[in-house]
Amino acid sequence: MILNDDIELIDGLPAIFVNSLNAIVIADPHLGYEGVMAAKGMLIPKVNLKHIIKILEECISKTGASRIIVDGDIKNEFSTVELEEFNELKEFLEFIRGKSIEPILIKGNHDNFVERYKEAFKLKVYRQQAELGRYLFFHGEQQPAAKKSEFLIMGHEHPAIAVFNKAGKKEKLRCFLYGKFEKKGLLVMPAINYFAAGTEINMYPKDALLSPIFEKVDVDRMEAIAIGYGSTMSFGKIGKLRKL
């Protein structure tokens, strides 16, 4: 789906392609998630990294991008880098570099220690936010400071919407949120992580959302663009979806 003259939402996937930067953007991979969960006693099968690589392969072949921007939370654990995370991070970067693509990482709240490995992985890491071209990329746990950028792209919130079919059955769909922030464009990315099905934005009160940006942005006036069943489609404003 074409969002504007520069941004394409890649159909059916939680990823976008920014033409002017020749970059694929994803958010919240939370690599090492299963390993961290296993350490807490939930021995869930490992599928996240495989799932993300599959998505990226499709994105790369569709767009021919030369960069991948990870808009925060590349890994899962807050305080340390667990062995599982380290291994998966390595495999992830090897995959990207194998395709001759440059990885760019925006630091998220789960990435506190990733800078330690910046050197080892020869990784470009931006603290909290980065202005690239016309865009400001930031993770979302803090208010952005946009100077020259015209368009903001964030992650963190893991947005989704709940819709009900006529028989009253609920279905949850991951979605983008698209709207305005201080007269600039704002796009909230859905999580790419396999297990992060997301927060049902249209079922939540506004003050229960995670990111402080929603103190300034009325989420009800944002458009929900949902992903599912191989396509990406606008479902209209959150405010309207609340009344369904």
Phi, psi of 214 (to 5 degrees): -80, 0
Judged by CB, which is closer to other proteins: 156, or 158?
A: 158
Shortest approach of other proteins to residue 187 CB, angstroms?
24
Q: Which is nearer to other proteins, 153 or 226 (CB)?
A: 226
* Burial label, 112 (beta-carbon count in 10 A; 0-12, 13-18, 19+): middle
- Residue 108 CB, shortest distance to other proteins, in Å, is 20
233, 235, 237, 243 alpha-carbon torsion, rounded to 10°:
-170
In the block, tokens 């998505």 appear at: 55
Nearer to other proteins by Cβ, of 120 and 244: the residue is 244
Of the two residues 65 and 219, which places its CB atom closer to other proteins in the complex? 219
Question: Is the CB of 40 or the CB of 127 nearer to other proteins?
Answer: 40
Closest distance between other proteins and the C-beta of residue 89, in Å?
A: 14
Place of tokens 């865009």: 135
Q: CA 133 to CA 21: how far, in whole Å?
A: 7
CB 130 within 8 A of CB 104: yes
- Per DSSP, 77 falls in state -
For the bound state, the minimum distance from the C-beta of residue 41 to other proteins, rounded and expressed in Å, comes to 3
Instruction: Considering the complex, state which of residue 120 and residue 208 has its C-beta at the smaller distance from other proteins.
Output: 208
Q: Kindly list the distances between the CA atom of residue 168 and the CA atoms of 160, 163, 172, in Å, as whole numbers in the listed order.
A: 18, 9, 13
Which spans of this chain sit near other proteins (rule: CB under 8 A)? 34-35, 38-47, 84, 87, 162, 164-171, 194-197, 203-205, 208, 242, 244
User: Which amino acid is it at 23?
Assistant: A
Measure CA of the first residue to CA of the last residue in the chain; give whole Å: 24
| Alpha-carbon torsion, ordered 136, 141, 143, 149, to 10 deg | 0
Given a contact cutoff of 8 angstroms between Cβ atoms, the answer to whether 30 and 110 are in contact is yes
Contact 28, 158 (CB under 8 A): yes
User: CB of residue 210 vs other proteins: minimum separation in angstroms?
Assistant: 12
**Least distance to other proteins from the beta carbon of 154, Å?**
22
Q: Cβ 26 to other proteins, closest distance in Å?
A: 18
Nearer to other proteins, 168 or 230 (CB): 168
